[in-house]
Structure 1
Amino acid sequence: MSVKILVVDDEPDLEALVVQKFRRQIRAGTVTFLFARDGVDALATIAETPDLDMVVSDINMPRMDGLTLLGKLQEAETTLSTVIVSAYGDMANIRTAMNRGAFDFLTKPIDFADMETTIARTIRHIGVLREARRRQSEAERARTNLSRFFSPNLAERLAADPSGLDLGGCRREVASLFTDIAGFTTLVESLDPALLAELLNGYLGAMTEIVFAHDGTVAKIVGDAIHVLFGAPGDQPDHCDRAIACALALDEAAQAFRAGWRERGVAVGATRIGVHAGPAIVGNFGGGRFFDYTAYGDTINTAARLESANKPLGTRICVSAAAAGRATAFRGRPVGDLVLRGRSEALRAFEPLRPDASDTPLTSQYCDAFAKLEAGDPGALAAFAAIVGQRADDVLAGFHLRRLLNGATGTRIELG
């Protein structure tokens, strides 16, 4: 470790004595000395030498004494370690110096063996401070990087213990959530770049804040699309509850966002959301230089396809039975048994509902109509028609009504 020391003293012979005493350390490059005649010169040298580590200062000097210099350094909140030099037995000045941040003291006449020991002790102290500052800087840099992906609480924990983000993957039970804005590509082509930047930054900022509020992990952002994980990298026994609650909160915020831009004459499409739960390989992939905490597996692919399924269904949120079944007191209504793109087996999906929307006569009506559909009861058509007659904007009831009118039966829905 190389240390740069400023010696502040008005004695003309001191510079030569110090250089002679520390000649081996100076030649080895472990220590560099600078010299100033008083506190005024010292402050100028300190301002010009940002990498200075230590100040060794006499007290009695012209223009500005050592105690005043210490006070100035204390006011400036510098990280310099200081050693004060005082007459033997002058405890009052030594006490004042220590109160002003001095690390140690020497007495005059200077014993150079004592000076060497004191400087060595101070250098060790500087080493400890440097290491502490290095760790703090690394932790702050880690928090800054991690805060792009993780909630503040989780980023704090991972910054303190980065082993959770070592390269490689592990199999975990997760809930995966995907979002996408309908018609966003077309919107991009019609907007001024500055307006697009304002819209997209505002949207992604609002969405990620909601994700972090639910302690979710942003695994990826591609354009307007967001992939979110719950249950990784930290354990979250309630990951399905968090994912579904997050989906509802994202939907509410996205609808408010659309309304705000509609008032400005910009038609932003609905945000579609898919949620699925199950095993996945999660971890930090991409090599030491590229941080990419993400997840792979059928659970992830299914969540993405559930997001896409909203388009033909007319819904905004689709939650799989796997996620709904693992949530506490899930509230929602069945969508149907979806055969997603590239699959042959059907997957039961639900539309989650907020408490105020789940306990209503129309929701009960819908569930009764769906039960008729599931049982093959011909009365299902009239039941869905009655719902649409009362509430024309119930897109899910309207979807089933159209299916039945076109001759479909049952709850199995083929999605290309």
Structure 2
Amino acid sequence: MSTIILVVDDEPDLELLLVQKFRKQIREGTLRFLFARDGVEALAMLADNRDVDMVLSDINMPRMDGLSLLAKLQQRDQDLSTIIVSAYSDMANIRTAMNRGAYDFVTKPIDFADLEATIGKTIHHVETLREAQRRQSVAERARASLSRYFSPNLAERLANSADTIDLGGARREVASLFTDLTGFTTLVETIEPDVLKPLLNDYIVGMTDIVFAHDGTVAKIVGDALHVLFGAPADQPDHASRAVACCLELDVFASSFREQWRRKGVALGHTRIGAHAGTAFVGNFGGERFFDYSAYGDTINVAARLETANKTIGTQICVSGNLAARVQTFCGRPVGNLLLRGRTEPIRAFEPLKSERYASPDTQAYLQAFEELEAADPHAIASFAALVGRNSDDRLASFHLRRLLNGETSATITI
């Protein structure tokens, strides 16, 4: 690659000397010189030649001297490295030049061996700057892409230090979380696009902001549905706690969002959330052309099934016992032992609750009723009936009451 040097000097002999001294580099194409007689001519040439890499300028020249040229160059967006040429006795002007951004200087009479070494050092400086700019540009593009999937802090780490986090396929311990807005497909067919667009945009932004606040990774967005990962691509020893906290905050946001749009005359469904913890195969499966960070395995499938299970059992959040067991301060109501279709072993499931609701009398009454259900105690019917009588909106208690009235006697639920 050729380095282009603009020489600014009113001495005509300098052009001949430089061409003679650097004839080998000029012939090989590694150096190319342009020549201007003063600062005014130099600025005009720079305007026509945006690919100039370096300026070699005298200080004393007619019309515009080298110091004035340096001041003009500081005002431009063109990033140039400048070498100043001056008499050794003119150190005051050399200091002024360095303060105005000159990279280096050589003294008159010019020692061409010293000039060659100075040009070589400046070329290395220019290449270093360009490499840094290239890396910054790559990092900014990567950050823009990664910020769609990862929290800002994690996107920054990935963009600037890609080697520190493995995006390739690997088995990891993760918490997987799925969300789905019920009735959204029907809603799309009944409302106008100018209403749907802000509704969906605000919903997705609000949901993903919460995910990112908990340092989660948005693995996929399909319409209104989100798939979120904790524990990948970066290690998170507390990934289970983050997932449960995120579930609860997403539920609060979704309920508030639903009420907000209800007041506008748009009937939104509930947001269902399911989560599970375990081993999954995660990585970027988009190849070189696309970035598609995703996860596969039974852990992911179970989380998706738990999200769907909410529709049957009447909850808005359903998490596995495996996830709950990894959270030291977990609070929640046991749902039962879910026997998912195609599986032989049931999965313990819970409805996570905030600590204040968990401590409420109604929750404590539910826990007592559930103990009776698991013990096949006939009194469970009366206990769940009392719960529903006090709060007809308790859909999980209503679900168990219906099961008991229909002759079910255990906490195992086929989904």
Indicate whether 1:110 and 2:110 are aligned.
yes
Q: Identify if the C-alpha distance between structure 1 residues 176 and 45 changes in structure 2 by more than 3 Å, giving closer, same or farther.
A: same
Relative to structure 2, which stretch is displaced further, 31-40 or 308-317? 31-40
Indicate whether 1:356 and 2:352 are aligned.
no
- For residues 309 and 48 of structure 2, what CA distance do their matches in structure 1 show? 65
Indicate whether 1:54 and 2:54 are aligned.
yes
Indicate whether 1:8 and 2:2 are aligned.
no
Match of 1:157?
Answer: 157
**1:190 aligns to what SS in structure 2?**
coil
Q: CA deviation at 1:217?
A: 1.1
Q: Following superposition of structure 1 onto structure 2, how do residues 308-387 of structure 1 map, counting pairs within 5 Å?
A: 308-387=308-387
- For residues 256 and 167 of structure 1, what CA distance do their matches in structure 2 show? 35
TM-score by length of 1: 0.95
Q: CA deviation at 1:166?
A: 5.1
Q: CA deviation at 1:350?
A: 0.4
Aligned letter for 1:367? L
Q: Following superposition of structure 1 onto structure 2, how do residues 206-285 of structure 1 map, counting pairs within 5 Å?
A: 206-285=206-285
- For residues 44 and 388 of structure 1, what CA distance do their matches in structure 2 show? 84
- For residues 32 and 343 of structure 1, what CA distance do their matches in structure 2 show? 73
Q: Where does the alignment leave 5 or more consecutive residues of structure 1 unmatched?
A: none
- For residues 308 and 45 of structure 1, what CA distance do their matches in structure 2 show? 68
Q: Deviations over 1:199-223 (max 9, x none)?
A: 2221111111111111111111111
**1:33 aligns to what SS in structure 2?**
strand
Indicate whether 1:202 and 2:202 are aligned.
yes
Tell whether the 8 Å contact from 1:165 to 1:284 is kept in structure 2 after alignment. Answer: no
Aligned letter for 1:361? P
Match of 1:20?
Answer: 20
Tell whether the 8 Å contact from 1:167 to 1:285 is kept in structure 2 after alignment. Answer: no
Q: Deviations over 1:4-63 (max 9, x none)?
A: 221112233433433333233223221222222222222233233332211111111222
Match of 1:138?
Answer: 138
Aligned letter for 2:179? T
Q: CA deviation at 1:392?
A: 1.2
Q: Following superposition of structure 1 onto structure 2, how do residues 292-307 of structure 1 map, counting pairs within 5 Å?
A: 292-307=292-307
Tell whether the 8 Å contact from 1:164 to 1:233 is kept in structure 2 after alignment. Answer: no
Q: Following superposition of structure 1 onto structure 2, how do residues 62-101 of structure 1 map, counting pairs within 5 Å?
A: 62-76=62-76, 78-101=78-101
Q: CA deviation at 1:137?
A: 2.0
Aligned letter for 2:221? I
Tell whether the 8 Å contact from 2:59 to 2:85 is kept in structure 1 after alignment. Answer: yes
Aligned alpha-carbon RMSD (Å):
1.8
**1:283 aligns to what SS in structure 2?**
strand
Match of 2:180?
Answer: 180
Q: CA deviation at 1:106?
A: 1.9
Aligned letter for 1:107? T
Aligned letter for 2:93? N
Tell whether the 8 Å contact from 2:167 to 2:233 is kept in structure 1 after alignment. Answer: no
- For residues 50 and 328 of structure 1, what CA distance do their matches in structure 2 show? 62
**1:410 aligns to what SS in structure 2?**
coil
Relative to structure 2, which stretch is displaced further, 85-94 or 112-121? 112-121
Relative to structure 2, which stretch is displaced further, 52-61 or 293-302? 52-61
Aligned letter for 1:212? F
- For residues 45 and 200 of structure 1, what CA distance do their matches in structure 2 show? 53
Tell whether the 8 Å contact from 1:167 to 1:287 is kept in structure 2 after alignment. Answer: no
**2:169 aligns to what SS in structure 1?**
strand
**1:178 aligns to what SS in structure 2?**
strand
Aligned letter for 1:34? L
Aligned letter for 1:10? D
TM-score by length of 2: 0.95
Tell whether the 8 Å contact from 1:165 to 1:283 is kept in structure 2 after alignment. Answer: no
Q: Identify if the C-alpha distance between structure 1 residues 20 and 264 changes in structure 2 by more than 3 Å, giving closer, same or farther.
A: farther
Indicate whether 1:391 and 2:394 are aligned.
no
Q: Deviations over 1:85-135 (max 9, x none)?
A: 112321011111111111111223333333222211211111221222222
Tell whether the 8 Å contact from 2:275 to 2:306 is kept in structure 1 after alignment. Answer: yes
- For residues 33 and 257 of structure 1, what CA distance do their matches in structure 2 show? 65
Q: Identify if the C-alpha distance between structure 1 residues 193 and 14 changes in structure 2 by more than 3 Å, giving closer, same or farther.
A: farther
Q: Where does the alignment leave 5 or more consecutive residues of structure 2 unmatched?
A: none
Match of 2:147?
Answer: 147
Relative to structure 2, which stretch is displaced further, 239-248 or 112-121? 112-121
Q: Identify if the C-alpha distance between structure 1 residues 41 and 194 changes in structure 2 by more than 3 Å, giving closer, same or farther.
A: farther
Q: CA deviation at 1:344?
A: 3.0
- For residues 59 and 43 of structure 1, what CA distance do their matches in structure 2 show? 15
